[in-house]
Amino acid sequence: MDDDARRDFMHAHAGVRSTNDLDLHGCQRVLDAARKVGATRPAPEKYVGRHPGYPETCRRGCGALLEKVEALLADMKLPWAYATATLRQMHRNMRLEWATARQLHDLVAALVVEQKKRHMLEAVTSLARALGRTDSDLNALARWLAPVSRPLTPKWQRDLRYLEAMAETLSGEWAARQAAARAAEAA
């Protein structure tokens, strides 16, 4: 209903033209009359995109940082417990609800690095599969890329420097294969 129609409807059923003037009985008469003509109660709005486990008791003023944390967690399909554990590891048992803006900024930075690692590992794995490489081939490539001054750790998949070097090497190999295939087609 537009504003004039709503006012006319309220005047016809409750004798008032403003909702401020409605008493409880008048409000009930207006609602009953509206239901008789087919009005229904709107469904309650759901907040779409809220990642499960959102800490509702966080400090005010950190909403944008919490939204960024939430978006990063949702992208990586991680629970809020991961963010809480990361913050506790970085800031001596700090609870997410008590974190300052600076501490949340540090958490966002750590989650961005984790996101880069995950995306880079996914890229390296998909490139390796496209090239027909196995996991043992990837381990050998990681050992080959390891500098003498810093031996290869067993968890090279978590080291962004190794992942970037492996992605560069594998994409170079992929480009060389593509160039060879184009040259073979041209010949």
What whole-number distance in Å separates Cα of residue 175 and Cα of residue 46?
48
Structure pTM?
0.59
- Asked if the structure places residue 144 within a domain, the reply is yes
Q: Spell out the alpha helix ranges (H) of the chain.
A: 3-14, 24-36, 63-76, 80-90, 101-130, 135-145, 160-186
Are 7 and 97 in the same domain?
no
Q: 68 and 32, same structural domain?
A: no
Q: What are phi and psi of 81, to 5 degrees?
A: -60, -30
Tokens of 47: 């907040």
Q: Do residue 175 and residue 105 come from a single domain? A: yes
Domain that holds residue 7: 3-36
**Sequential pLDDT tens for the chain (187 residues):** 788 998 999 999 999 998 888 888 988 999 899 989 888 877 655 544 455 666 655 555 567 888 888 889 988 988 888 888 999 999 887 777 788 888 888 999 999 999 999 998 888 888 888 888 888 888 788 777 776 556 666 677 777 777 888 888 888 888 888 888 888 888 7
Is 8 part of a structural domain of the chain? yes
Q: First and final CA of the chain: distance in angstroms? A: 73
163 occurs within a structural domain? yes
Is 54 part of any domain? no
In terms of domains, do 28 and 81 share one? no
| Same domain? 83 vs 170 | yes
Q: Are residues 113 and 21 in the same domain?
A: no
Same domain, yes or no, for 31 and 123? no
Give the pLDDT of residue 16. 92
